[in-house]
Amino acid sequence: MTDRENRPEPEIEGAGRFAYDGLDPVLHSKARIGILTALATHPDGLSFADLSRLCSLTDGNLSRHLDTLAKTEDSKPALVKITKTFQNRRPLTTVVLTGNGRKRFREYLAHLEQVLRDAAEEAGAADATKSETRPGLAGA
């Protein structure tokens, strides 16, 4: 055994500070963030085709993500409402962000903003100490 193996782990201040449990895994994907942002900016909803174009998703991929956002889990209401109707004898699928979806998306964004603040704070601290350390990877 080396001396390093015998040393106890140092106590880290603020354990769990960067766990970010508020980042909802249902919302935390590039495609779903795009879908929710598009719907949040269109309160009356969007047609499936428009949503597909805005988010640059294939129909199959968009459909899969919408299924995830539309289903309820753990007694939480759905994030989006999908309505299928006909317009001029053609099928029309419309997607609207629900009240719960809007609330959960805002909460998610607040947690994401905290991640950005923490990263900026840490980057600022690293920049301040960078000039005091030797060049290279030591200041990274």
So what's the pLDDT on residue 72?
75
Q: What structural domains and CATH numbers belong to the chain?
A: 22-128 (1.10.10.10)
Whether 131 has a pLDDT exceeding 80, the answer reads: no
So what's the pLDDT on residue 125?
64
Rounded Cα distance between 94 and 42, Å, is 12
Q: pTM of this prediction? A: 0.73
Digit-coded pLDDT (tens) for 16-68: 777 787 778 888 899 999 999 999 999 999 999 999 999 999 999 999 999 99
So what's the pLDDT on residue 99?
95
CA nearest to 65, candidates 86, 106, 95, 100: 95
Asked if residue 31 lies in contact with residue 55, where contact means CB atoms within 8 angstroms, the answer is yes
Q: Can you spell out the DSSP letters for 86-134?
A: EETTEEEEEEEE-HHHHHHHHHHHHHHHHHHHHHHHHHHHHHHHHTTS-
The count of other CB atoms within 10 Å of the CB of residue 13 is 6
Rounded Cα distance between 5 and 104, Å, is 45
| Amino acid type, 61 | N
Whether 137 has a pLDDT exceeding 80, the answer reads: no
Digit-coded pLDDT (tens) for 72-117: 777 788 999 999 999 999 999 999 999 999 999 999 999 999 989 9
Confidence of residue 8 (pLDDT cuts 50, 70, 90): low
Tell me the β-bridge partners of 83: 94
Rounded Cα distance between 29 and 119, Å, is 19
Asked if residue 39 lies in contact with residue 97, where contact means CB atoms within 8 angstroms, the answer is yes
